[in-house]
Amino acid sequence: MMKRNKTMNGNRFELMKIKNRYTYICISLWISIQLMQLSTTAQTKLTLKDAINKGLGVEYGLQQNKILLENAKLRNSLGFAGALPTISGGISQNGQMNSLRQELLNGIVIDRKNALSQTFNANANLNMTFYNGGRIKNTKLGLQSAEQLATLTLTKAQIDAAANIALGFYDVMRKKALKVALEKTVEVSREKLKVVQLREKVGLVPALDVYQAEVELNTNELLLADQQLIIEQAEIELKRLLQIPQNDAIVLDGKIEVDSTLTFAQMESAILKNPDVEIASELTKAAGYQAKQIEALRMPTLGFSANYTFNRNQNQAGFSLLSQSLGPSAVIGLNIPIYAGNTLQRNVKIAQQQMQISAINELQLKTNQEATLAKLFSAYKNEVVQTKKQQRNYELSQQLLDGNLKRLNANQITLSDFTETQRSYEVAAYNLFNHLYLGKVAEIELKRLAGKADF
């Protein structure tokens, strides 16, 4: 019997050793999996400034605009305008075999088969234009205008990219703030359910109140889950703008604060120099340069060309066995357009009309921007006022909720009154964070309109 007990104890000991070993393996495996997840999921902490700097460095449209600017800078030269002379040269060697028969007056007959003839030519040429009615000057001005347009387009693209990143950044922050408010609502709903269940046990409330409290908790938990999905969708868009891998987590550092110091006069003077207005103005100038280039086609062109040529012609038979020449030549030419089927006059008129269209577009843009400024500033001032009031309402509703929760635990408030308090908190939180975001949107759009990127 004793041996049997010893055997059973030994078996139990072995089983415990196996069980402990299995538990150790499971714990080790779980720790390894968690470490692997931490190593594979990077976490990026971002301030708004960091996000904008990162986004401006990787945005595809900006990269394209930078290349276009470099292209315009390369074209903006005297050579592209036609103000510099062109120099060219050429070398040619020509050889041929001919069967030759010649009968001369003195009775000599030359009869050669497969007589070789060689011709060598080398030349250097210089061409330049002295005058062509100002076409060179206006072409150069047009190239300068194209470079300025590329610069302004890049600036506008940078401001737009920064504004879009700021909007995405604050949108995520707003949604996360709403999630925090929903988490508090869920926590309060759980506490309320516990209180109602206790009251139902002692017969103070009917079972229907418990059902109602449980429905409210479930509804708030569902809203919280939906809000988490909304946050994830907003983060995906922000990561796309910043080209952050979608598997990486982002932590935003900052809070939504509306700059309440903007004035209408300040914005009104700033929009006169924003990139959109300057681009429209530059397009009008470019159209003017183009019209002058076309008008210059009606003027005479005075040009100069010089050549230095070497020719050598060598034959095995014939009158001339060797002919060689070497020397310069120069030509001054004047080309006068007389008639081209009225196309020049028509092209000049078309170019002038295009310039008028550009000027009208510029005026229309300024008018539209003035109206946009008035609308945005009105919305901005309204949101500044609303935000202050909503901030106060939120603080009061939060204090009221915390105080009434204590009263609920002490059975000093009815369920309907507490439910109303809870609803007031939810509405106040929703209104505050949405008005904060709308105020920030109005501020960002005002600064974008003014050509600023200090968001």
Summarised one tens digit per residue, pLDDT across range 252-261 is 999 999 999 9
pLDDT at 419: 92
Segment 2-10 shows an average pLDDT of: 44
DSSP secondary structure, 177-196, as one string: HHHHHHHHHHHHHHHHHHHH
Which regions of the chain carry the CATH code 2.20.200? 85-131+300-336
Average per-residue pLDDT for the chain: 87
pLDDT at 39: 42
Which regions of the chain carry the CATH code 1.20.1600.10? 48-84+134-299+340-449
Is residue 41 very low, low, confident or very high in pLDDT (cuts 50, 70, 90)? low
- Please name the amino acid found at residue 278: E
pLDDT at 21: 52
| Stated pTM of the model | 0.81
Is residue 318 very low, low, confident or very high in pLDDT (cuts 50, 70, 90)? low
Between vectors from CA 59 to CA 40 and to CA 377, what angle results, nearest 5°?
115
Summarised one tens digit per residue, pLDDT across range 67-116 is 999 999 999 999 999 999 999 999 998 877 777 677 777 777 777 777 77
- Residues recorded for the chain: 455
Answer yes or no: is pLDDT of 355 > 70.
Answer: yes
Percent helix, percent strand, percent coil in the chain, to nearest 5: 65, 15, 15
Burial of 124 (0-12, 13-18, 19+ CB in 10 A): middle
Is residue 249 very low, low, confident or very high in pLDDT (cuts 50, 70, 90)? very high
Answer yes or no: is pLDDT of 10 > 60.
Answer: no
Least confident among 114-118, 261-265, 307-311, 399-403? 114-118
pLDDT at 2: 41
pLDDT at 141: 96
**Dihedral sign computed on CA atoms, order 21, 27, 32, 33:** positive
What CATH number does domain 48-84+134-299+340-449 carry, 3.30.950.10, 3.40.50.850, 1.20.1600.10, 1.10.3720.10? 1.20.1600.10
pLDDT at 7: 46
Least confident among 22-31, 106-115, 266-275? 22-31
User: Which top CATH class is 85-131+300-336?
Assistant: mainly beta
Residue 322 makes CB contacts below 8 A (sequence gap 6+) with: 312, 313, 314, 315
Least confident among 33-42, 315-324, 438-447? 33-42
